[in-house]
Chain A
Amino acid sequence: MIRFEEVTKIYPGGQQALNRVNFHLQPGEMAFLTGHSGAGKSTLLKLIAMMERPTSGQVFINGHNLNKITKKQVPFARRDIGMIFQNHRLLMDRSVFNNVALPLIIEGYHLSDIKRRVAAALDKVGLLAKINNMPNTLSGGELQRVGIARAIVNKPPLLLADEPTGNLDPHLSMEILKVFEDLNSVGVAVMIATHDLGLIARMKYHTFTLRQGQMIHDGLSSSDLRESEFEPVI
């Protein structure tokens, strides 16, 4: 589903964010991307979302080389990727319905289709009752779930989540993860960037670990993955 080949990203100014990264996320797979802040998680996700371009190397999604996607095609390619953000990035002056409907409005769906799909997406995250609320009447966990509903409303085959549980307590975090697991069970590939090791320790999921821009671990998460592995070698 996602394949990185020798991807290096150096920002203008010389900061090296990723150094010859290789990995492969299988279709329909759910995986975690971990590492300290500054390890390159965000850069890796930005490369997948085409918000940045690699300095060298290639990124493939479903076999398509992203280097060949032109600037004009980027919006269309992004419609295939559902993105979830730590601070949910909802528009606070629009209702839950209008926030979730955004990707469908952009694609030009009929209003009847939009209503049906928004209701289905909100139902999946358990917020159908709040469809007409304004975002400022919702709790942090609910906002995050509205964000997920917006990401899945046009049924993208790939979901990217950047610290989706960053602002939530453990109980709410588990709820959110449960939503991702449900989505994954119907075939959606999910990639979740997180530094919340407690969250992944209990799960048997594919985990990619970045340290200082290099992929240092690529395998199933398990108890042998300890905190010490994240510490930079001095």
Chain B
Amino acid sequence: MSLLFNQRKSPGANSANPGHRLVMYFIRHLQQALASIGELWRMPISSLLTMAVLGVSLALPTTLHLLMKNGQQLRSGWDSAAEITLFMEEGVSDSQTQKVLRRIGLYEQVNKVTYVGADDALEEFKSLSGFGDALSYLDKNPLPSVILVIPTTQYSSPEGARELLEKLQQQPEIAFGKLDVTWLEKLSAIVNLLDDAALALGILLLLAVALVIANTIRLSILNRREEIEVLKLVGATNDFIRRPFLYTGIWYGLIGGLIAWVCVSLILWWVEGTLLDLASQLGSELTLSGLSFSEFLILIALSSGLGWLGAYGSVMRHVYEIEPENQL
């Protein structure tokens, strides 16, 4: 590509076949990508330290994301557990009870109805409370009969369940109903707050990753000032000069992302042991979900993208500034 001398040809650059030129374009990019790995490898300790900083910075938002994800799964369990307890009036006959049960069962908002008669309730209370024998001194069963209503998922939100409760309480056989949703509301408010805080923290940490890479690339550009000047003197374009730095940024991000993934996997493995312990004591099933494959890909793409972005910022400012001026 000769600008001043039209008759001049540079066969290497001006291959006639456009397909071949495209292939060469990718080969050259690949060469520069590999060359920037070599550049990192020449200073393994400082490169690894930088990557470790990036890895830890990325591990934090990733862990926060996992916390949020697992928290959401737990909460969806609680939401469906919204259960309405209806206490029957005293002295309601069995046939009346059956009618009420049938009526409530027909409500479209109701998923499941369970009847716990006063005698059953007493038995259960005896075995669970530990009062056992003491209760047998009572001459009369103090417990009312209870209907447990589980709303459909559509009505299991705090608002929906409360609406259903109002309706159910109007039945003449029902003394009163109870729905404990205030704690659910408080919990979801707290979780929302934590989600927001985690998001803000995550954004800050991602910004830190971009800035660390920008600064590392800036130092590397200034270290190679002489080389950049020489390249400009022999006719290198800014694109050509900045490409290895952009690739270096991408590598930093990519390897930082991999380190973050390893960190998060270790954290999960560590926490899972104690969690299983806790689960067995609570007698419930708790499982932690880790990073899915697509989330892993997103992490790597995000970290590489941040690497490119940070490097791009530095390159735009510094590679263009450096001009061969002091000599010749």
Residues of B within 8 Å of A87, CB to CB, are 327
A80, B231: Cβ atoms closer than 8 Å = no
A85, B235: Cβ atoms closer than 8 Å = no
In A87-112, the 8 Å CB interface with B consists of 87, 89-91, 102-104, 106-110
**How far is it, in angstroms, between the C-alpha of A104 and the C-alpha of B235 when the chains are bound?**
10
Closest B residue by C-beta to A113: B12
- Please list the residues of chain B having a beta carbon within 8 angstroms of any beta carbon in chain A: 1-5, 8, 10-13, 24, 28, 226-227, 229-238, 240, 323-325, 327-328
Is A36 on the interface with B (CB-CB < 8 A)? no
Number of A residues whose C-beta is below 8 Å from B? 41
Is A130 on the interface with B (CB-CB < 8 A)? no
Closest B residue by C-beta to A108: B13
- Given A76-B235, A89-B233, A150-B234, CB of A106 within 8 Å of CB of B327: no
**A25-36, CB under 8 A of B: which get 1 and which 0?**
000000000000
A79, B235: Cβ atoms closer than 8 Å = yes
Closest A residue by C-beta to B21: A108
**How far is it, in angstroms, between the C-alpha of A219 and the C-alpha of B234 when the chains are bound?**
30
- Given A51-B323, A157-B5, CB of A46 within 8 Å of CB of B235: no
**How far is it, in angstroms, between the C-alpha of A160 and the C-alpha of B324 when the chains are bound?**
15
B12, A110: Cβ atoms closer than 8 Å = yes
A107, B328: Cβ atoms closer than 8 Å = no
Residues of B within 8 Å of A79, CB to CB, are 1-3, 10, 234-235
B4, A77: Cβ atoms closer than 8 Å = yes
A157, B3: Cβ atoms closer than 8 Å = no
Residues of B within 8 Å of A160, CB to CB, are 328
Residues of A within 8 Å of B236, CB to CB, are 75, 106
Is A20 on the interface with B (CB-CB < 8 A)? no
Contact of B234 among A73, A77, A106 (CB under 8 A): A106
B227, A75: Cβ atoms closer than 8 Å = no
**How far is it, in angstroms, between the C-alpha of A54 and the C-alpha of B3 when the chains are bound?**
20
Residues of A within 8 Å of B237, CB to CB, are 72, 75-76, 106
Residues of A within 8 Å of B323, CB to CB, are 51
Is A178 on the interface with B (CB-CB < 8 A)? no
A113, B327: Cβ atoms closer than 8 Å = no
Contact of B230 among A75, A89, A109, A114 (CB under 8 A): A89
Closest B residue by C-beta to A42: B328
Is A192 on the interface with B (CB-CB < 8 A)? no
Q: Of A61-69, A121-129, A168-176, A220-228, which stretch is located at the interface?
A: A61-69
